[in-house]
Amino acid sequence: MRLKAAIAGIVGLVVALGITELVHGLYELVPSVLGSIAQVVVEWTPGGIVTRGIELLGQADIPVLIASVVLGTLAVSALLAIVAVRRPALALLGVAVLTAIGIAVAFVEPFIAPVATVATVVGGLLAGTVVAELMLRAAGLRETEKAAPKPAAGTPGSPDSPVVRWRETGGSMSVGRGGFIALGGGALVAGLAALGLGRLLSGGSQAASTPKRLDLSNEPAGKPSGGGEQKAGGQEAVTHETLPPPPADASIDVPGIPKIFTPASSFYLIDAALTSPRVNADDWKLSLKGVPNPVEFSYKDLQEMSTLESDVTLSCVSNPVGGGLVSNGRWTGVLLSDVLKEAGVSRENITRASQQLVGRSVDGWTAGFRTDIALDGREALVAFGLNGSELPVKHGYPVRLVVPGLYGYVSATKWLSEIELTSWDFNAYWIQRTWTKEGPVKTQSRLDTVKGGQNLQAGKKIPVGGVAWAPHRGIDKVEVSTDNGETWNEARLASQLDPDTWRQYVYDWDASPGSYTLKVRATDGEGVLQTAEERPPHGGGGTDGAQGYHTAEVTVA
C-alpha cells in the first residue's frame, strides 16, 4: 500500500513538473521551476563547495544538480502521498508549502511574468495533486469520501466530479487495480512527455539564437573609421574603428595549435547562472551609480558612441595548468573609460568611496576591480560584439565587460545592467565565496600539439607548440624543455597580435627514441618568467589562478 501511495505521489509530481516545464518551454517568462530550484541551491551552498561545483566542473555540473533536485522533490512527493493515505489534510498542507516554495524560487529569476508564473505553478501542482488523489482512490486507499483531501472546487478532481465518482462507485478491488495502473501509467507518460518537450523547447530556443552580424556603419553619426576629428560643434566626432584581419604571421600553421580567434561557438563558457538570462536589448539599460553624473545608456546609445574593436584573451581563474578555460576574441564595444567620462569620472576624482568598479548583472551577479584599472589606458570595453557578431546569449548578450589582464571573476560581467563605483569594502560574488579580491591574470603557457601519454614517431621533427598568454603584458619568449626542465630551447613565436592576446609558439623537436618529460614556460613582455612553483586554481593558499609549467610525458619510437 505504501508503495502504491509513493508511486501516486511520484506520478503526481511528474505531471506537475511536466506542466511547469512545458509552459516554460512555450513561454520564456514563466521560469523553469526545476532550474530555479537548482539556482537557489547554488546560491545557498557555502562558497567552498560551490567553487568546486560550478567553476571546476563547469557546465557539466548543471545536469547533475538538476538531477539531484529532481530526486529530492520526488522523495518529498512520495512521502506526501504516503502521508495522504491517513492524514490528507496534512498532505494538502505539504502540497501548499511545495507550491509556495515553487513560487518563491521562481521569483529569483530576473525576468518573469508574475501572474502567469503563479498560475503555472499553482495549476501544475493542483493537477499533480488531483492525479495523485485519483490514483490513491483507484488503489483503494481512500475509504470514505470525507477523508479525501478537497482540491479546489470546480477542478476535475473535486470529489463530486463525475470521473471520481465513477472510480468510487464502480471500483471493485480488481477494477481499481487496473485503473491504478492505467491512470498512473497514462499520467506518467503524459507528464514525462510534457517535461521532455518543455526541456527540449527551452534548450532549443537557446541554441537556435545565432547571434546577428554587427552593423554599425549605418548609425546616424557613424563613420567607417578614423579618429579624433572635430565635428563642427567642437565635439569629438563619433567613430567606429575596425581592425584589419589578423596578419598571416600571427598564426602558426601546425595542427593542434588553437586558432588565433576562438569561434564564438567554442569560446570557453563559465558562469554561475544555470540558465543564461534572456535580455531584450530594446528594453535594456546600463545605469551608472556612485558617480558624479549618474547616467543611463540604452543599447542604441552605446552603439551611437565611438566604438572600437579590440583583441583580448579572456581566461578563467579556475583554469588548471594546461586547461581550456581560455579563449581569444575580437570584441566590439565602447571604451569603459568613455562611459565613465560621460558619468563624470576621471582618474583625478577617484576617492575612497569610488575606488572599486563593480559590474552588476541583470541576475544580480557582481564582479569588482580597482577603478583606476579602467582608466589606465588599457582597452577595457563595455562590449556588445564578439568576432563581428552580437554577443551570444551565453556570453552576455546584450552587453558585458571585457578587461584585458584580469580574470573573468573580477571583471568580465556578462548581461551587464549596472556599473557602480564604490569603496574597496564591497565584496563581489566570488569574493564573498572566499576568492582572492584582486585577479590579475598569471603568465601561462600550454602544450597543445602534444598530449601526455602520447606515442610520437621519430624520424622527422616533432612540432611542440601551443599558446602562451599574459594579457596586457604580452609574451616575449616561450621555451620548451624535453628533459623535465633541465635545459630549455627557445621556441619560434608567431607575431604578437596584441599584448592583450595569447601568442602562438612552436619548437621543432628533433627527437630520438626514448621517454621524455616535456615542459613549456613563457616570459612576459616585462621580462618576467612565469613561475615554476605549482599551485592548483583553488586551494593552495587562496583562489588566484593556477600556476606552474604545463608538462607532458611522451614516448618517441
Ligand X SMILES: Nc1nc2c(c(=O)[nH]1)N[C@H]1C(S)=C(S)[C@@H](COP(=O)(O)O)O[C@H]1N2
Which residues of the shown chain bind ligand X in the complex (CB under 6 A)?
267-273, 314, 316, 361, 365, 395, 408-409, 412-415
**Residue closer to ligand X, measured from CB, 140 or 408:** 408
Q: Which stretch binds Mo ion (CB under 5 A): 288-296, 386-394, 403-411, 436-444?
A: 403-411
Vertex 245 angle, CA 239 and 246, to 5°: 120
Per CB under 5 A, which of residues 264..303 are in contact with Mo ion?
270
Say if residues 543 and 551 touch (Cβ distance below 8 Å). Answer: no
| Nearest alpha-carbon partner for 38 in 3, 14, 68 | 68
What's 262's DSSP letter?
-
Q: What, of Mo ion, ligand X, none, does residue 331 touch, CB below 5 to 8 Å by kind?
A: none
In the three-class reduction of DSSP (H, G, I as helix; E, B as strand; rest coil), residue 340 is classed as helix
Position with the least CB separation from ligand X:
408
Q: At what angle do helices 173-208 and 114-138 cross, to 10 degrees?
A: 150
What's 59's DSSP letter?
G
**Residue closer to Mo ion, measured from CB, 325 or 480:** 325
C-alpha distances out from residue 316 to 224, 358, 382, Å: 34, 18, 19
Residue 409 touches Mo ion, criterion: CB under 5 A: yes
Taking residue 128's Cβ as centre, other Cβ atoms within 10 Å add up to 28
Among 33, 316, 345, 428, binds Mo ion (CB under 5 A): 316
d(CA 329, CA 264): 8
Q: Minimum distance between the CB of residue 382 and Mo ion, rounded to whole angstroms?
A: 19
**Residue closer to ligand X, measured from CB, 120 or 417:** 417
**Residue closer to ligand X, measured from CB, 374 or 556:** 374
Q: What, of Mo ion, ligand X, none, does residue 435 touch, CB below 5 to 8 Å by kind?
A: none
The H or E element spanning position 80 is helix 61-86
The H or E element spanning position 11 is helix 2-26
Q: Minimum distance between the CB of residue 243 and ligand X, rounded to whole angstroms?
A: 20
Q: Which stretch binds Mo ion (CB under 5 A): 177-185, 241-249, 280-288, 402-410?
A: 402-410
Backbone Cα Rg of the chain: 29
Say if residues 504 and 464 touch (Cβ distance below 8 Å). Answer: no
Q: How many helices (H) and strands (E) does the chain have?
A: 14, 19
Q: Minimum distance between the CB of residue 316 and Mo ion, rounded to whole angstroms?
A: 3
How would you class 434 by CB atoms within 10 Å of its CB: exposed for 0-12, middle for 13-18, buried for 19 or more?
middle
Q: Minimum distance between the CB of residue 269 and ligand X, rounded to whole angstroms?
A: 4
Say if residues 75 and 90 touch (Cβ distance below 8 Å). Answer: no
Among 408, 465, 466, 474, binds Mo ion (CB under 5 A): 408
Single-letter residue type at 275: T
**Residue closer to Mo ion, measured from CB, 270 or 497:** 270
Q: Minimum distance between the CB of residue 281 and Mo ion, rounded to whole angstroms?
A: 25
String of DSSP letters for 299-312 = HHHHHHS-BEEEEE
Taking residue 53's Cβ as centre, other Cβ atoms within 10 Å add up to 18
**Residue closer to ligand X, measured from CB, 275 or 482:** 275
Q: What, of Mo ion, ligand X, none, does residue 297 touch, CB below 5 to 8 Å by kind?
A: none
Q: Minimum distance between the CB of residue 318 and Mo ion, rounded to whole angstroms?
A: 5
Q: Minimum distance between the CB of residue 277 and ligand X, rounded to whole angstroms?
A: 8
Provide the CB-side half-sphere exposure for 404 (13 A, CA): 28
d(CA 55, CA 61): 9
Q: Minimum distance between the CB of residue 498 and ligand X, rounded to whole angstroms?
A: 18
Q: Minimum distance between the CB of residue 386 and ligand X, rounded to whole angstroms?
A: 8
Residue 467, phi-psi category: left (phi > 0), alpha (psi -120 to 50), beta (remainder): beta
Q: What, of ligand X, Mo ion, none, does residue 365 touch, CB below 5 to 8 Å by kind?
A: ligand X
Residue given cell 611522451 in the structure block: 554
Q: What, of Mo ion, ligand X, none, does residue 464 touch, CB below 5 to 8 Å by kind?
A: none
Q: What, of Mo ion, ligand X, none, does residue 314 touch, CB below 5 to 8 Å by kind?
A: ligand X
Q: What is the number of residues in the chain?
A: 557
Q: Minimum distance between the CB of residue 142 and ligand X, rounded to whole angstroms?
A: 49
Q: Minimum distance between the CB of residue 473 and ligand X, rounded to whole angstroms?
A: 19
Q: What, of Mo ion, ligand X, none, does residue 361 touch, CB below 5 to 8 Å by kind?
A: ligand X
**Residue closer to Mo ion, measured from CB, 430 or 516:** 430
Q: Which stretch binds Mo ion (CB under 5 A): 17-25, 249-257, 409-417, 492-500?
A: 409-417
**Residue closer to ligand X, measured from CB, 23 or 62:** 62
Residue 435: partners with Cβ closer than 8 Å, 6 or more residues away: 47, 51, 317, 409, 542, 543, 544
Q: Minimum distance between the CB of residue 164 and Mo ion, rounded to whole angstroms?
A: 54
Residue 345 touches Mo ion, criterion: CB under 5 A: no
**Residue closer to ligand X, measured from CB, 435 or 505:** 435
Single-letter residue type at 484: N
Q: What, of ligand X, Mo ion, none, does residue 386 touch, CB below 5 to 8 Å by kind?
A: none
Residue 231: partners with Cβ closer than 8 Å, 6 or more residues away: 237
**Residue closer to ligand X, measured from CB, 332 or 523:** 332
Single-letter residue type at 332: T
Q: Minimum distance between the CB of residue 131 and ligand X, rounded to whole angstroms?
A: 38
**Residue closer to ligand X, measured from CB, 368 or 408:** 408
**Residue closer to Mo ion, measured from CB, 538 or 550:** 538
**Residue closer to Mo ion, measured from CB, 52 or 231:** 52
Q: What, of ligand X, Mo ion, none, does residue 299 touch, CB below 5 to 8 Å by kind?
A: none
d(CA 553, CA 453): 6
Binding site for Mo ion (CB under 5 A): 270, 316, 408-409
